[in-house]
A and B are shown apart, each in its own frame.
Chain A
Amino acid sequence: MNVVVVDDDPLVRLVLAKAVTGLGHVSLPAEAGDMALEIVESTPVDVVVSDWMMPGMNGLELCQAIRARDAIEYVYFMLVTALDDSEHALAGIAAGVDDCLVKPVRPFDLRLRLMVAERVTGLHRRLAERQRGLERSNVDLAASARQEPLTGLGNRLKMSEDLEIFRSRRDRYHEPFGVALFDIDHFKTLNDTAGHLAGDEALRRVAAVIRRELREADMAYRYGGEELLVVLPAGVRRVAAAAERIRKAVEHAAIPHPGRPGPESVVTLSVGVAAGDGETEAFLLAADAALYKAKSEGRNRMAVAGRWFAVPELADSP
């Protein structure tokens, strides 16, 4: 163990340090409380053995300072007091001291107490490791519970949580947001012709293209079977521009679409865009209606809710 030995008397410090070293530990001597605190803050320390009365920070204050730190690793604290100093011993234990030793410290006593300290710090260490593991798996679980496994995009849970955040930001800080609902054209034909695995693969590749086209603040979700939703913190013109950029990027990616009617047998998207005020459900309905409009007008195009026309000229705006 790493053991900090704190005493303002160099001879007492020397004896304690030698005893600690002799017991197979690493001794880190300090002649004052603030020095000891510096060591604790910069080095992994298992145990502190500190005199009670020292100039400057006393042993109790040192213990309180160590306990006040926001650290997972536990520091086992031993206070050295005079034999009949039950008052300070009691105050020390109440303030977070783990053990009290009587002056002059006998090496054999120190040996016994350090054995106890080793057991206790070992328990704390294992507990801290388990705690860290739990926190990690909690974070992982929270992430995986919000991810759609095939596309790696967010799922419906993540979508509704994020939409709520977007909505409250818009209402509170007037930060606009809009949605773009994408649908793979003739997806049923793809599944029927090439099989569901090919359909899955096409979805995965479309999702990858979408992810590549997004900025950090933009979010994408698998909305339904072959429907993907993108949410952007922007007004309708920028949302529409992004939707059109994504539509083109997917077309250029030339993802095979065997069985698609027409000359080009690549995957294309239709997209409906909605932005502005209103509840999120109304937003999604409007985007869905716009998507339907884009489909009915011949697919592989965009329609904006409230403006029943495609706006290809927006595609070149930043």
Chain B
Amino acid sequence: MRQDRTAVAHPEDRPGRKNDGGDDRSGAERAAVDETVIEQLASITDSQGFSVLGELLNAFLGAVPARLEALDRAVTEEDAVALASQAHALTGSSASFGARGMADLCRELRVVAERGDIGESRRLVGALHAEFLRVRAWLVSFRSRS
């Protein structure tokens, strides 16, 4: 049960991070994506030396909606077990792409779902949808910048 802390953003894990809005999780002022993580991803190249960031971002942006739909279904079906495991699965993905807000919400959702609180789960899944829109907007704008 320690895995649920995976995606928590720790200051020591983010040396030289940018766009840090502080520890206020709910604060909309915090950037949706930790840019240092994306810069790390941008350093990954293919065998010809070209960055594979575009491919990675497409994979992320393509995969998340289906995961959110699965969460929606689990809420509708009031399936707390599915909610918890789907939330856990999305935690690692979100953290890998710097989406700290999403990762935090996933972590919270998992705890809430394990408690069997469907009402709160529904609210958090809604928040995840909104947060993903922020993340997508951030990533799309980053892609056009670089």
Please list the residues of chain A having a beta carbon within 8 angstroms of any beta carbon in chain B.
Answer: 7-12, 14-15, 18-19, 21-22, 24, 51-53, 82-85, 87-88, 102-108
Among A12, A18, A19, A107, the residue within 8 A (CB) of B92 is A12
Residues of chain A within 8 A (CB-CB) of B19 are none
With A11-B97, A12-B92, A104-B96 given, is the CB distance from A18 to B44 under 8 Å?
A: yes
A21 touches B47 (CB 8 A): yes
Residues of chain B within 8 A (CB-CB) of A19 are 44
With A82-B2, A82-B6 given, is the CB distance from A11 to B93 under 8 Å?
A: yes
Question: A305 → chain B, closest Cβ, in Å?
Answer: 78
B5 touches A107 (CB 8 A): no
**Residue-wise interface mask of B (90-132) relative to A, using a CB-CB cutoff of 8 A (1 in contact, 0 not):** 0011011100000000000000000000000000000000000
Q: Which applies to chain B's interface (DSSP): helix, strand, loop or mixed? A: helix
**List of 5 A-B pairs having minimum Cβ-Cβ separation, nearest first:** A11-B93, A82-B6, A53-B3, A104-B96, A104-B95
Whether a CB of chain A sits under 8 angstroms from the CB of B37 is: yes
- Residue in B6, B43, B46 with the greatest tally of chain A CB atoms within 10 Å: B6
With A85-B5, A103-B6, A104-B92 given, is the CB distance from A11 to B47 under 8 Å?
A: no
A10 touches B3 (CB 8 A): no
Residues of chain B within 8 A (CB-CB) of A85 are 2-3, 5
Residues of chain B within 8 A (CB-CB) of A7 are 92
Question: B135 → chain A, closest Cβ, in Å?
Answer: 13
Q: B62: nearest residue on chain A (CB-CB)?
A: A11
Taken together as a complex, chains A and B put the C-alpha atoms of A22 and B48 apart, in Å, by 9
A82 touches B3 (CB 8 A): yes
Number of residues from B at the complex interface, CB < 8 A: 28
Which residues of chain B (1-48) have a CB below 8 Å from chain A? 2-3, 5-8, 10, 13, 37, 40-41, 43-47
Q: A82: nearest residue on chain B (CB-CB)?
A: B6
B37 touches A84 (CB 8 A): no
Please list the residues of chain B having a beta carbon within 8 angstroms of any beta carbon in chain A.
Answer: 2-3, 5-8, 10, 13, 37, 40-41, 43-47, 52, 55-56, 59-60, 63, 89, 92-93, 95-97
Apart from A9-B96, A22-B46, what are 18 other A-B pairs with CB-CB below 8 Å?
Answer: A9-B93, A11-B93, A11-B97, A12-B92, A12-B96, A18-B52, A18-B55, A19-B44, A82-B6, A83-B10, A84-B10, A85-B3, A88-B2, A103-B7, A104-B6, A104-B37, A106-B37, A107-B43
Q: B46: nearest residue on chain A (CB-CB)?
A: A22
B46 touches A21 (CB 8 A): yes
Residues of chain A within 8 A (CB-CB) of B92 are 7, 9, 11-12, 51, 103-104
Among B3, B43, B60, the residue within 8 A (CB) of A11 is B60
Q: Please list 23 pairs of residues, one from A and one from B, whose beta carbons are closer than 8 Å in the complex, sorted by A's number.
A: A10-B63, A11-B59, A11-B96, A12-B93, A15-B44, A15-B97, A18-B44, A18-B52, A19-B44, A21-B46, A22-B44, A83-B5, A83-B8, A84-B10, A85-B2, A88-B2, A103-B7, A104-B7, A104-B92, A105-B96, A106-B37, A106-B40, A107-B40
- Residue in B3, B5, B13, B59 with the greatest tally of chain A CB atoms within 10 Å: B3
Residues of chain A within 8 A (CB-CB) of B93 are 9, 11-12
